[in-house]
Structure 1
Amino acid sequence: MAVDDQAGVGSVWRRWEPHVHAPGTQLNDLFAGAAAWEEYVAKLEGITPALEVIGVTDYYNTDTYARLRKAKDEEARLPNCTTLFPNVEMRLGLGTAAGAWVNVHLLVSPEDPNHLAELNRILSNITFAALEDRFSCTPTELTRLGFKADPSIRDEGAARRFGSTQFKVSFDQLKEIFSSFRWARDNIIVAVAAGADGTSGLRDGADATLRREVEKFARAVFSATPGDRDFWLGRKLPHEEFQRKYGMAKPCLHGSDAHELDRVGAPYGNRFSWIKGAPTFDALRQACITPERSFVGEVPPTGASRSQVITGVAIRNATWAATPDIPINPGLVTIIGARGSGKTALAELIVAGCDAVPLPLEQHKQSFLYRARDFLGDVAVRIRWAAGDADERSIADATEDDIFQIRRAQYLSQQFVDRLCSSDGVSDELLREVERVVFDSHSVSTRDGATDFDALLDLRAARHREARIRDETALINLSDRIGEEIEKTKSIATLQKLIAEREQSVARASQERATLVKKGDAQTAARLNDVSAAAETVRGYVRHFSVQEQQLLTLQDEVADFRRNQSPETLRRLRAKFGSSGLKDADWDPFGTDFIGRVGEVLVDRLQKARASVASWKGVPVDPTIPAVPLGPDCELARQPLATLESEIVRLSQIINVDRATQEKFAQLTNRMTGEGDLAKGLKERLTDAIGAAQRREVLTADRATAYRNVFEAVIAEERVLNDLYAPIKARLDAAPGTLGKLSFTVRRVANVEQWARAGEAFVDLRKAGPFKGRGTLFELADAHLRSAWLSGTAEEVSDAMRAFRTAHDQVLLASSRVSETDPAAHRAWLRAFAKWLYGTDHISVQYSVRYDGTDIRNLSPGTRGIVLLLLYLALDQSDDRPLIIDQPEENLDPKSIFDELVPLFAQAKFRRQVIMVTHNANLVINTDADQIIVAQAGTHVPGEMPPISYRSGGLDEEDIRKRVCAILEGGEDAFKERARRLRVAL
């Protein structure tokens, strides 16, 4: 941007040359030749970057300054230079370790037309006592001092130069001059050199205190060392210690200190001096107040990239826009004015030009664009960017809801801030903003294709969450099975009793049947018993193969269902879930699940064999009309078909019992013996199963403990994922001082012990005596013995804690059941539900929280939420360097919070991104050291028309802008105090 184009843009970096000598300089003049002066001026004019402010330096006098000023004013020389000022170099009466003297510089404002006369008057009051005489700091007196100090000198010029080497300024007298002369205080800035010819040259020890006094008195330091700049900005000492030792922070300046042509404007290493502000001496005054406005280096500091910096806004086709073209500073821009003056209008017009209007507009009825929509039909906005491009948008286009538009700025409207900071439950939206910033803190290369926080979290935590679901399902199934095994164990005594009863019933029937057998038929009866026992054995074979047949049929159905329904659905779910895996259609074919080998053929073959076995053991039913053929005595009865055996039983029964009544009684008893025997056999099988339940229960219990531990391993893994997601932000916060350091992100396990205990109380009779009597006792025990492990223990520690809890309380809990064991079915259901509750984990979750100054964001006041919101955008959102436009961020905050919390945020944010802010608050204009102030003013309002709106812009280093700021803005007591210091006015 050319110098002439920077009017109104406010404070921008400009190159200064605050320390350059000229031909004729009093000491060490190495400018040679008759054309030395012309060459010198031409050299100054041709320097790049252009010198906009030049401090012409000489020892104890201003002759060379006056000559260069005359060349500029009367000969139109130095066209790029706006301001020339005298830099009077002097030596204090303090020796350095190198045998030199400490140099100080009087940087004198040229604003007063009589500044040379006033400066010479001040110099004439500085005296030097020597040779039993006192000499003033004037050309005549310096000449007199030279002659007297060296009588061999004959030339007045030589005497003056020698006198200048001898004249030393008393530090006490220098302080007295500034105490006594108002003009000196108002127009002279004292700078001290920090090198070997400055305070660094003072010896430690006895001179350390004196050195500090000199440095404390000075308002600026000549040094090009980055370490010195950091020191004098107050960054290397605690604030209170720095203030006590050195007063206020100080800007560092650097010049070429040229005594010869080649070095003019060419400091070593291109360590140029830059001052942010207008090219006026006032900018140096402002730099003394805000030393960050001064920088030494080849190029000045930059903020956002040029493509993300607005340099101007033009309002087209708006007759009411009295100032249709407004330059915009690349740093912190504040728009101020009385209410209704057009502040928000300018901000929203810039927003419209950047395609960042919050839509739909009907939901933002307080906005300027909505309220003034009838007057904006033909209005267009043209945004100029530092990279050289420009965007022009009609208001009509900018307010159409286009989801594909690229927002070139970020806009925090007053309504948006109010909504996110309100106390009526919108903290979720604020948390979404936090998550967005956390997501943006990860580089694109580490996002694994995720487009937002939830997607990235799901991507990284899905495996652990699904593992938890699987293990929680396993816990439920295992608890069911353990409940079943407990029931089986409890049934042992009952089964044993039932078996005994059945065996006794068989014995009684056998005895009774024996009485029906005649003495001569005893042998036949014994044969009948043998055949009946064989028939029972064969019936077992038939039952076995019949059950096998049904099992094979059911398994066949399961296989068919798996192939027809389950396997295709599993494949569809996998493809949907892992659609981004890069697998093509053909790649998915091997993922289809099926049974290994010839499953269908195996099932058909086994089914045929089972059916054949059933048919074989049943045999062919015997025709009752055909006389039965007796089985031979050598026949192996247990290998005969059931039909044959049953026929033999009928035949033998008929032999034993001739009369029909006895025969029927005998058959009845035989059937009872057969039935009771079958029941006894089934009960014995159940008893065997029940006896083995205890051992199986131990295995299942161990498996449940493993599943319980696995659930917490998945929980802890999700904790690690969240901690990894927040790591970049947490690292930044841990290293941040001040307000940003109050913000913290915590990932923690949450255990709702009260929820768990309350659910458990539904299973326990709280009236029974014992440790669980009364509501709340279960919570107290869980709180004492489980909470700590649930919240912070390892998976193993959680498992151990639950095991210890069960060991101590399991029997009492079971005995306190609300369901009586006299109702086995209900008690069985109670046991299963109890186990599911005991090992349930739905009360365990992993949560992250945002805390400010130790308080969770959900519990913050609306005002403090506003601070957190601005922390996000101003300090944490490092990835977004678009212009940030904010409308009245102070609305929810008290003046002290603004001064303490927000001022540092805005002051730092402008070094990273362009910030444009509408505000009424003085803190946010002055104490943030705003780079540009745009003052809005509305003219007379005519009904049915827009009032004319004008904008006056500039920087705090411009007196007119300072007066307008004082007249318009309000603030708290601290703001007024700081304002007076920064604006150099009496309030």
Structure 2
Amino acid sequence: MLRGSEWIKADFHIHTLGTKKNDQFSERESDKFFNIFFKKAYENKIKIIGITDYFDIENYKIAQEELDKLKIDNTLSDQERKFFKEILLIPNIELRIGAVTGKGRLVNIHCLFSPNRLSELSDHFFSEMKCGNYKMTKTGIIELGKSYLKISNNEEEIYKKGIEVFYVTIEDLEKVKNYFKDDLLIGVSNSSCDGVSGIKGHEEFYNKEYGSIEEIQRRIYSISDFIFSANPKDREYFLGKKKGLEEIEKRCKGVKACFHGSDAHIEDKIFKPDNNRYCWVKCEPTFEGIKQVIQEPEDRVVIQENKPDDKKNYNIIDSICFQDNNGDEIKVYFNQNLNTIIGGKSTGKSLLLKNIVNLIDKEYLKSKIEIESFSELSNFKIEWKDKIKDEKRNVEYIPQTYLNHLLNNKNKESQIDKTAEKIMKQDNIVKENLENINEIIKNKEKYTDTNIDKYFDTEEKIKNFKEELNLIGSKNIIKKEVEDLNTRLKILQDNDEIDIISLDKIKNKINENENKDSKNKEKLENIRLLQNNNCIFEINYLEILKSLENEEINEIIKNTEDKLKIILLELEKILTEKQNILIEEKDKLTKELIPYSDKIKNKEELEKIENLLLKENEKLKKINSLETELEKENFNKDNYNQEIINIFENYKEIYDTELEKKGLKKDFENLKIEIKYELSMKYWENLYECLNGTSLRGHLEYSPDILPKLEELKNLYLLLEKEEIKLKKGYNKKDVLKTLTKNPFILKYDITENGININNMSEGNKSFVLLELIIQLGNNEFPILIDQPEDDLDNRSVYEGLVKFLKNKKKERQIIVATHNANIVVGADAENIIVANQNGVGTENYNKRQFDYKNGALENQTKDSNGILGKRTIQEHICEILEGGKQAFERRKRKYKF
């Protein structure tokens, strides 16, 4: 097979025409029967067939002869002949061991032999197995039958009776197993009907030959290489998943594979197991392949209807080819699971990987390797399993020493965190929660920046209020002045209260007198004007009357004027007298004021004091108003200050609350990632850069290399706020406080494997965990290419970590690893081993090719004479390249004395 070990169907237990018991096949002609038989094999794609019969292999031989005919039958298609050439037939000799089940039946046990050892079966198997004194040959079985049917002469009847009663012993099985070793695979049924689990009763038999039921079960399980059972519970048990590996080791001498077959005794059942529980094995269809399945009972055999590990074709590199310098086209095939490229130094292992990545994505390759130039193989091509060639697709490439490079980076913790973060964010719930945390933090930072702005605005207001208060003066001094003015005012008011009232009355009378005098003078003036100007006759009607030239009228006018003059004279006299009276009265009132002259001066002083008092009270009012505002702004300042200080605890509370939400932990089998938080060194470095080193000398808790505690950050805020710690030139207090109050925390991805934190691991284990994280990234399905991962790991990390990881991950993704480590190749059970070689002295390639490759499964036994690669099997190459040769391997084995 070109691609190493691949999943194929096997039927390890199937009977054919002429089977010794329960032969129900309707077609009685051998060639026709096997045409039907192998046609069904082709239709169901059965590649391994255990031809089963009781106590002999004659039917196996017939089946093999019929199969050989089909391989060269020109009436068949090329595809059919090719398929028949790949079929492996195995002789499955069905026996019964001398133990009885609760159903009263003997326990069925099967012996599968390598076809290469058939010539030895007569002398070393059939002759060695006995039932009492009777050998397991046709003659011996007939003799046994005769001992039961003494009166019968029918040989066929006697032979059938012998088959019916013949059983073998554990001791005989142990003897032949010791001779054939792993060329004999023993399988036992585990059913309650005819299997080991059903062994009960028959105490006399047990006590004489084996002891307890438990002991006979232990001996049968121990000698068996596999279990015939399609029961999922049996599989779990024999893999140690139900009662533990210790129990299986004690009872069965190790874990066991579970095989299955159709157990057909009729045409309709051929290759049709019950419930379509097909037996899928991952191996080449060879006996060596089956032996490898036995070694990997969990990963190389599955009983189910559909093909296991069925990956998407577009995610599998099927083959590559390139043109060698001699013109030959070199083609290398890949398995869908684990491919390992082995070879000595400079044999083209890494070269093959780089050429694959280079063709798929040149820029991606450049981002992964420091040296951009490398030998590009001529006419290099890639074919994917979906038959598309040279299309740009995704691969994950981890170059040689790449992991150490990441870890030796000064920001190695952040590299691991970044990788873990990418993995976690592939989960939409985690991504949403983390985005929510970031949004809350950003809002808090904005809110705090606003508070700092308000804080400084408030400080400016407080400064202005204080300056204004200073301009007004001291409140106490002003209050003292007000008190003094009030005292003086009270004295003046108390002493002169009555006199002032009297004075006011006199002043009021004088004012009344002056008003009267003024009015009287006005009247008097008017009369005099009339007297002097004859104003009374300036009216037009008098002129009209005069114009009439009537003497009587003129006389009347003259008399009227005389009378008016008399009246005016009388009025003048009256007003003059009144005027004199008012003058006398005024003089009298003025004389009355003379005693009050000092009082008037006091009144003026009183008014002056009142005006001063008004002004001083206005000042006090202004001071009180400013003090109220100042108190308000100081209150605001304290509030802003407290909110700013509290922000450190707020950040902590946000993380504590949000990180408690579900989904922020991830389990990848033994690898666990939990999101936590811690103070950021980068945050502290940025902040420390602003601070004046001289002013920090008295504060030893603040060092550039040591993260301060949360309380110390709060205290630093207070020291900066009070300006007890100075800033470097070019920095201002507001901006530095904003820097200080930014979120000081970063998310930390707490990574543990098997309960051990990554920070407590060796460098090798750290590298392995980083490798796991990179490969887990995104749960992608495209191929993984790794170049000599063992260079980044220690041996224990390779064996205990990487091997197990590769075995699990290859079920999900195609992996191609260049390696010189035997544990990766053999321990991880690589499905396809690619041996690389560069032409040289003693290592000549076929046709002098510069680079050549041979690939196949671990069990592959093919050899040819085509160069150094063809002269050895895959196993021999592994031993030679990775172990230093068989002799070196055996020598180390002896030295270890395990």
Structure 2 counterparts to residues 819-830 of structure 1, below 5 A: none
Identity in percent: 23
Instruction: Check the 8 A contact 1:422/1:862 in 2, yes or no.
Output: no
Partner Cα separation in structure 2 for residue 425 and residue 783 of structure 1 = 20
Structure 2 counterparts to residues 402-441 of structure 1, below 5 A: 406-414=392-400, 416-441=402-427
One-letter identity of the residue aligned with 1:263: K
Instruction: Check the 8 A contact 2:16/2:265 in 1, yes or no.
Output: yes
One-letter identity of the residue aligned with 1:412: I
Taking structure 1 as reference, are residues 143 and 366 closer, same or farther at Cα in structure 2, changes over 3 Å only? farther
Q: Which residue of 2 aligns with 1:644?
A: none
| Alignment pair present for 1:84 and 2:70 | no
| Alignment pair present for 1:936 and 2:876 | no
One-letter identity of the residue aligned with 1:164: I
Q: Which residue of 2 aligns with 1:748?
A: 677
Instruction: Check the 8 A contact 1:25/1:64 in 2, yes or no.
Output: yes
Q: Which residue of 2 aligns with 1:680?
A: 620
Partner Cα separation in structure 2 for residue 936 and residue 135 of structure 1 = 55
1:10-40 CA-partner distances (Å, limit 9, x unpaired): 1111222211111111111112354255224
Q: Which residue of 2 aligns with 1:35?
A: 29
Instruction: Check the 8 A contact 2:354/2:365 in 1, yes or no.
Output: no
| Alignment pair present for 1:55 and 2:50 | yes
Q: Which residue of 2 aligns with 1:185?
A: 181
Partner Cα separation in structure 2 for residue 952 and residue 527 of structure 1 = 140
Q: SS of 1:87's equivalent?
A: strand
1:949-975 CA-partner distances (Å, limit 9, x unpaired): 0000001112410010010014999x9
Q: Which residue of 1 aligns with 2:568?
A: none
Partner Cα separation in structure 2 for residue 271 and residue 958 of structure 1 = 28
Q: SS of 1:440's equivalent?
A: coil
Could you tell me which of 848, 856, 870 is aligned with 2:771? 870
Instruction: Check the 8 A contact 1:88/1:107 in 2, yes or no.
Output: yes
Q: Which residue of 2 aligns with 1:100?
A: 105
| Alignment pair present for 1:460 and 2:436 | yes
Partner Cα separation in structure 2 for residue 840 and residue 847 of structure 1 = 18
Instruction: Check the 8 A contact 2:245/2:255 in 1, yes or no.
Output: no
Shift of 1:94: 0.7
Partner Cα separation in structure 2 for residue 847 and residue 189 of structure 1 = 56
Taking structure 1 as reference, are residues 950 and 894 closer, same or farther at Cα in structure 2, changes over 3 Å only? same
Taking structure 1 as reference, are residues 751 and 911 closer, same or farther at Cα in structure 2, changes over 3 Å only? closer
Shift of 1:235: 2.4
Taking structure 1 as reference, are residues 922 and 117 closer, same or farther at Cα in structure 2, changes over 3 Å only? closer
Q: Which residue of 2 aligns with 1:194?
A: 190
Q: Which residue of 2 aligns with 1:967?
A: 880
Instruction: Check the 8 A contact 1:126/1:174 in 2, yes or no.
Output: yes
One-letter identity of the residue aligned with 1:234: G
Q: Which residue of 2 aligns with 1:125?
A: 128
Partner Cα separation in structure 2 for residue 890 and residue 509 of structure 1 = 104
Taking structure 1 as reference, are residues 349 and 38 closer, same or farther at Cα in structure 2, changes over 3 Å only? same
Could you tell me which of 848, 853, 857 is aligned with 1:955? 857
Q: Which residue of 2 aligns with 1:3?
A: none
Partner Cα separation in structure 2 for residue 331 and residue 407 of structure 1 = 18
Q: SS of 1:25's equivalent?
A: coil
Instruction: Check the 8 A contact 1:135/1:141 in 2, yes or no.
Output: yes
Could you tell me which of 330, 342, 346 is aligned with 2:352? 346
Q: Which residue of 2 aligns with 1:20?
A: 14
1:35-67 CA-partner distances (Å, limit 9, x unpaired): 255224432233323222221111111111122
Partner Cα separation in structure 2 for residue 979 and residue 302 of structure 1 = 37
Partner Cα separation in structure 1 for residue 688 and residue 331 of structure 2 = 68
Partner Cα separation in structure 2 for residue 980 and residue 299 of structure 1 = 42
Give TM-score, length-normalised by structure 2: 0.71
Structure 2 counterparts to residues 451-850 of structure 1, below 5 A: 459-473=435-449, 476=452, 497-504=476-483, 506=485, 676-686=616-626, 697=635, 715-718=652-655, 727=664, 730-733=665-668, 736=669, 740-741=670-671, 743-748=672-677, 750=679, 842=742, 844-850=744-750
| Alignment pair present for 1:901 and 2:801 | yes
1:722-768 CA-partner distances (Å, limit 9, x unpaired): 566963xx3434xx2xxx33x4323235599x989999x99xx999x
One-letter identity of the residue aligned with 1:732: D
Shift of 1:334: 0.4
Partner Cα separation in structure 1 for residue 807 and residue 231 of structure 2 = 24
Give TM-score, length-normalised by structure 1: 0.65
Q: Which residue of 2 aligns with 1:647?
A: none
1:322-341 CA-partner distances (Å, limit 9, x unpaired): 55111111110000100000
Taking structure 1 as reference, are residues 512 and 818 closer, same or farther at Cα in structure 2, changes over 3 Å only? farther
Taking structure 1 as reference, are residues 979 and 434 closer, same or farther at Cα in structure 2, changes over 3 Å only? farther
Q: SS of 2:25's equivalent?
A: coil
Instruction: Check the 8 A contact 1:336/1:920 in 2, yes or no.
Output: yes
Instruction: Check the 8 A contact 1:356/1:408 in 2, yes or no.
Output: no
Q: Which residue of 2 aligns with 1:599?
A: none
Taking structure 1 as reference, are residues 978 and 715 closer, same or farther at Cα in structure 2, changes over 3 Å only? farther
Instruction: Check the 8 A contact 2:417/2:748 in 1, yes or no.
Output: no
Taking structure 1 as reference, are residues 972 and 127 closer, same or farther at Cα in structure 2, changes over 3 Å only? closer
Partner Cα separation in structure 2 for residue 909 and residue 359 of structure 1 = 23
Could you tell me which of 917, 920, 935 is aligned with 2:820? 920
Could you tell me which of 106, 115, 135 is aligned with 1:110? 115
One-letter identity of the residue aligned with 2:197: S
Q: SS of 1:870's equivalent?
A: helix
One-letter identity of the residue aligned with 1:408: N
Taking structure 1 as reference, are residues 297 and 521 closer, same or farther at Cα in structure 2, changes over 3 Å only? closer
Taking structure 1 as reference, are residues 879 and 755 closer, same or farther at Cα in structure 2, changes over 3 Å only? closer
Q: SS of 2:95's equivalent?
A: strand
Taking structure 1 as reference, are residues 312 and 255 closer, same or farther at Cα in structure 2, changes over 3 Å only? same
Partner Cα separation in structure 1 for residue 188 and residue 891 of structure 2 = 25
Structure 2 counterparts to residues 36-435 of structure 1, below 5 A: 38-47=32-41, 48-73=43-68, 76=71, 79-112=84-117, 115-118=118-121, 120-129=123-132, 134-179=133-178, 181=179, 184-195=180-191, 196-203=193-200, 206-291=212-297, 292-315=299-322, 317-319=323-325, 324-355=330-361, 358-360=364-366, 364=369, 366=371, 370-372=373-375, 379-391=378-390, 406-414=392-400, 416-435=402-421
1:927-968 CA-partner distances (Å, limit 9, x unpaired): 0000000000001399xxx97100000011124100100100
Instruction: Check the 8 A contact 2:648/2:710 in 1, yes or no.
Output: no
Q: Which of the two has higher C-alpha Rg?
A: 2
Taking structure 1 as reference, are residues 246 and 938 closer, same or farther at Cα in structure 2, changes over 3 Å only? same
Moved more, 704-713 or 883-892: 704-713
Ranges in structure 2 where 5+ consecutive residues have no aligned partner: 74-80, 204-211, 508-596, 727-732, 862-872
Q: SS of 1:143's equivalent?
A: helix
Partner Cα separation in structure 2 for residue 914 and residue 937 of structure 1 = 23
Taking structure 1 as reference, are residues 176 and 257 closer, same or farther at Cα in structure 2, changes over 3 Å only? same
1:501-539 CA-partner distances (Å, limit 9, x unpaired): 33256469979999xx9x9999999999xxxxxxxxxxx
Shift of 1:891: 0.7
Q: Which residue of 2 aligns with 1:822?
A: none
Alignment: residue pair count: 742
One-letter identity of the residue aligned with 1:744: I
Instruction: Check the 8 A contact 1:54/1:81 in 2, yes or no.
Output: no
Instruction: Check the 8 A contact 2:94/2:110 in 1, yes or no.
Output: yes
Q: SS of 2:109's equivalent?
A: strand
Instruction: Check the 8 A contact 1:938/1:950 in 2, yes or no.
Output: yes
1:67-113 CA-partner distances (Å, limit 9, x unpaired): 2223334674782553212101111111111111111100100124x
